[in-house]
Amino acid sequence: MKNRLSSLLILLLAVVLTSCESNDDTATINGEIGGEWNIESINYTGTTIVSQEGNSVTTNLSGESFDENATMTFNEADNLFSSQGSYFIELTSSNSGQTQTQTIPINDYYSEGEWDLDGNILTVAGGLVSISSGTPVVGNPNEIQSQEYVVEELTATTMVISGVDQQLIQESDIELDVTIDFTITLTK
């Protein structure tokens, strides 16, 4: 079950940053979203409950990005965005009194889609960033549902985006109940 749990945690990371919902509508918006932004950090905390054959294990997660070499570009002329690059995630998981930390390389990801900013609610078709430890991930707005993020701060040089992801994922006989809070910090 431990190997399957590790595989599910990596799958969870892919889901977290490609689909999120939020309903916060208060923020500091003093800048324009258009242009190329450098990803400075991606941080998250959360809880998963893995259930299999009547047994459940609760895991607390936290993750921080490092060695970021990634960008997001928002084109205001056609309201299209793209994000691409590479970085690492240091993932710490704790359950049953044990803590495990692993480094996950995020190599050459790519995501694109349509975007809209209404107040401080950023709606995108697809996810802003994708986590895949091996293959490129492409978000197709015709196949991927729109997601909402909260722009906590937007100035001429800094943008902070946050969200909460709550999902129930089923794979074979394993059920994964996930709640993740995350923040993406970008600079120009």
Q: For residue 177, give the nearest of 50, 67, 84 by alpha carbon.
A: 50
pTM above 0.85, yes or no: no
> For 159-188, how does the pLDDT look when each residue is reduced to its tens digit (9 = 90+)?
999 988 878 888 888 898 988 898 999 999
Q: Residue 97, Cα to own-chain centre: how many angstroms?
A: 27
Per-residue pLDDT at 158: 97
